[in-house]
């Protein structure tokens, strides 16, 4: 997977159109370990083999603020672990499962797109 954050500051970057295939129990697709701000995570696919559902698609720890998660495809059944303050301080829009259904654990929290078409 992709790991960002920890000591230092990680600001204003984009993770666009990546594909992460999880094929081991306990694996992670995307981890933000703190001090991540202003990131755009859009158009990514975090997928899992059907035999591996004991994995985590997105995990947040520490303070991560004002990030955008939009138009990502995440296999249903994968865990999403956001720290308590993250959802209200970031924008989530159109994050779907492999069947095109909105992920209930990443519901839209804005009335429309977080970013314009040119930013994707």
Q: Taking 70 as the threshold, does the pLDDT of residue 72 lie above it?
A: yes
| Mean pLDDT of the 35-50 span | 93
Q: How far apart are CA 93 and CA 108, in angstroms?
A: 4
Q: Taking 70 as the threshold, does the pLDDT of residue 117 lie above it?
A: no
The pLDDT-based confidence of 84 (bands split at 50, 70, 90) is low
- What is the dihedral angle through the alpha carbons of 58, 56, 34, 119, rounded to the nearest 10 degrees? -20
């Amino acid at each position: 997977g992709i790991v960002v954050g920890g000591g230092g500051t990680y600001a204003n970057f984009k993770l666009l159109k990546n594909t992460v295939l999880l094929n081991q129990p306990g694996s992670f697709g995307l981890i933000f370990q703190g001090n991540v701000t202003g990131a755009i995570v859009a158009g990514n696919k975090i997928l899992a083999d059907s035999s591996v559902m004991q994995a985590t698609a997105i995990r947040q720890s520490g303070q991560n603020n004002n990030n955008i998660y939009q138009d990502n495809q995440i296999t249903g059944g994968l865990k999403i672990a956001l720290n308590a303050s993250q959802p209200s301080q970031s924008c989530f829009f159109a994050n779907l499962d492999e069947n095109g259904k909105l992920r209930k654990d990443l519901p839209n929290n804005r009335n429309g797109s977080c970013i314009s078409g040119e930013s994707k």
